[in-house]
């Protein structure tokens, strides 16, 4: 921050401090010497450096609530003899800047709430809401100040979408749209598939759900092909994944997204996959992934805990390998299912429209998240791999509702 900007900000903060304190004079220890403006700049810069260093540290190391309060006490002692009010004003500015950055970078309030809920105590949601403008931000107690530091650290870890491309390509999307006319039927079928204890019934129900999704999506593409839907019709959505095995679950998201005309990238440490596609396709991916993960969890539980030589637990490696194999086989079957439906349509009309749509999605994805890095997920348990393949065969059929195990044998 330049000196002139710091002077203007310090002058504004001094006025705010006076108003908050109800005093007619400056805060004690803030203005000293012949050049009060310079003293303000120096004081503000010193406190800002200590606050931002603490925020960076909190973003790198996970502290429990007791440790967070201890860190906060240490920070507030370190700024003396500067007044506590100055620290509050500096932190409010830091929160304002980082919140504006993440909002401009393609994050909505619902996703920020997920970020805080999954990586911090839920009491910090109140601070987040205040930062986003629902109420006056208060940092006047140790607990509130600590909460402000924690929220600032979490927001600073949020990966940003390319701000130059986002307004032209996509709009962020929180999900749950009701425009998809088949969603109610699909949701009901998948709910039955998740609740039944009979694999064959779950098989048929999931198959019917996928059939409805695919037929509707391809029919919609053909109908809209003549109008040449623009890139602005695409959306960005975050699909949050529960620990553990986030990387393996993200692999399943990638396979389902790819088969349903979407692109995905994962932020494993934060626990979500980023999706780019049309709203209806994103709805379909979210529904399918949610249902498939429920079915995968149920199948893993049936296998119970796994022990290796010497009685050492290998449950984690078994389940990681299970989910990776599950994702691979689901991807194969979804691609085959999509191919089957494509052959039933008028290929002369469908294929050019489908290619055009996929090109637009890929272009938008590359523009919004240009720095993705491929990463493999390790498989260390052969039994888990075989069990995952078998579970995937039972979890999802092709769109005609027929088993096609022969196609995937071996």
The tokens of 109 are what?
């309030």
pLDDT per position as a tens digit, 370-381: 766 555 555 554
Q: Are 205 and 112 in the same domain? A: no
| Whether 87 contacts 51, CB under 8 Å | yes
Give the end of a domain, one of 112, 138, 156. 156
Residues 324 and 382 in one domain: yes
* Whole-number Å distance between alpha carbons of 274 and 369: 9
Q: Do 254 and 195 sit in the same domain of this protein? A: yes
Q: Which of 124, 156, 188 is the last residue of a domain?
A: 156
β-sheet with 234-240: strand ranges across: 170-172, 234-240, 272-277, 263-267
| Count of structural domains within the chain | 2
Q: Assess contact for 256 and 289: CB atoms under 8 A.
A: yes
Residue range 241-291, pLDDT digits in tens: 998 999 999 999 999 999 889 999 999 999 999 999 988 899 889 988 998
* Residue 256 falls inside a structural domain: yes
Instruction: Report pLDDT digits (tens) over 189-202.
Output: 888 888 877 767 77
Judgement on whether residues 121 and 229 belong to the same structural domain of the protein: no
Question: Picking from 121-125, 182-186, 205-209, 375-379, which range would have the lowest pLDDT averaged per residue?
Answer: 375-379
Structure confidence at residue 312 (pLDDT): 67
Residue 161 domain-assigned (yes or no): no
Report the alpha-carbon distance of residue 236 to residue 107 in Å, rounded. Answer: 10
Q: Are residues 181 and 151 in the same domain?
A: no
* 386 and 280 inside one domain: yes
Residues 67 and 173 in one domain: no
In sequence order, which residues have a C-beta less than 8 Å from that of residue 180 and are 6 or more positions away?
A: 216, 279, 280, 283, 284
For residue 65, give its domain range.
3-156
Report the run of H or E that residue 44 belongs to, with start and end.
Answer: helix 36-60
Same-domain status, 83 and 213 = no
Looking at the domain assignment, is residue 285 inside a domain?
yes
Lowest-pLDDT range of 27-41, 42-56, 349-363: 27-41
In a domain, 283, yes or no: yes
Bond into 280 cis (ω within 30): no
Last residue of a domain, one of 126, 156, 186: 156
**Measured at the alpha carbon of residue 248, what is the angle toward residues 410 and 204, in degrees to the nearest 5?**
60
Strands 170-172, 234-240: pairing kind: parallel
Q: Is 350 part of a structural domain of the chain? A: yes
Asked whether residue 408 carries a pLDDT value surpassing 80, the answer given is no
Residues 274 and 327 in one domain: yes
Note whether 242 and 179 are same-domain residues: yes
In a domain, 78, yes or no: yes
Residues 337 and 197 in one domain: yes
Domain-embedded: residue 297: yes
Same domain as 183, residue 147? no
């Amino acid at each position: 921050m330049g000196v002139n900007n710091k002077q203007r900000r310090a002058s504004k903060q001094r006025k705010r401090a006076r108003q908050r304190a109800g005093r007619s004079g400056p805060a004690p220890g803030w203005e000293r010497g012949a050049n009060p403006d310079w003293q303000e700049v120096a004081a503000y810069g010193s406190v800002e450096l200590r606050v931002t260093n603490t925020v960076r540290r909190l973003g790198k190391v996970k502290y429990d609530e007791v440790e967070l309060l201890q860190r906060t006490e240490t920070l507030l002692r370190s700024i003396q003899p500067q007044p506590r009010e100055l620290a509050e004003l500096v932190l409010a500015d830091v929160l304002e800047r980082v919140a504006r950055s993440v909002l401009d970078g393609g994050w909505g309030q619902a996703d920020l709430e997920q970020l805080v809920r999954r990586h911090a105590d839920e009491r910090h949601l109140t601070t987040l809401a205040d930062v986003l403008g629902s109420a006056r931000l208060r940092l006047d107690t140790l607990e509130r100040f600590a909460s402000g530091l924690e929220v600032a650290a979490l927001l600073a870890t949020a990966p940003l979408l390319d701000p130059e491309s986002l307004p032209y390509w996509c709009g962020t999307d929180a999900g749950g749209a009701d425009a998809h006319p088949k969603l109610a039927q699909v949701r009901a079928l998948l709910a039955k598939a998740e609740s039944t204890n009979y694999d064959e019934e779950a098989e048929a129900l999931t198959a019917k759900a996928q059939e409805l999704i695919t037929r509707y999506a391809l029919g919609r593409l053909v109908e809209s092909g003549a109008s040449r839907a623009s890139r602005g019709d695409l959306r960005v959505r975050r699909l949050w994944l529960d620990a553990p095995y986030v990387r393996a679950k993200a692999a399943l998201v990638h396979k389902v997204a790819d088969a349903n005309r979407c692109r995905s990238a994962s932020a494993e440490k934060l626990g979500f996959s980023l999706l780019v596609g049309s709203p209806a396709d994103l709805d379909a991916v979210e529904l399918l992934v949610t249902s498939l993960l429920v079915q995968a969890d149920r199948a893993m539980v049936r296998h119970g805990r796994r022990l290796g030589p010497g009685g050492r637990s290998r449950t984690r490696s078994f389940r990681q390998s299970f989910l990776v194999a599950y994702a691979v086989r689901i991807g194969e079957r979804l691609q085959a299912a999509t191919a089957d439906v494509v052959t039933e349509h008028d290929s002369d009309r469908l294929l050019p429209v489908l290619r055009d749509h996929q090109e637009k999605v890929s272009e938008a994805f590359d523009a919004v998240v240009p720095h993705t890095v491929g990463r493999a997920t390790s498989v260390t348990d052969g039994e888990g791999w075989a069990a995952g393949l078998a579970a995937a065969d039972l979890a999802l059929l092709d769109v005609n509702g027929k088993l096609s195990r022969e196609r995937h044998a071996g």
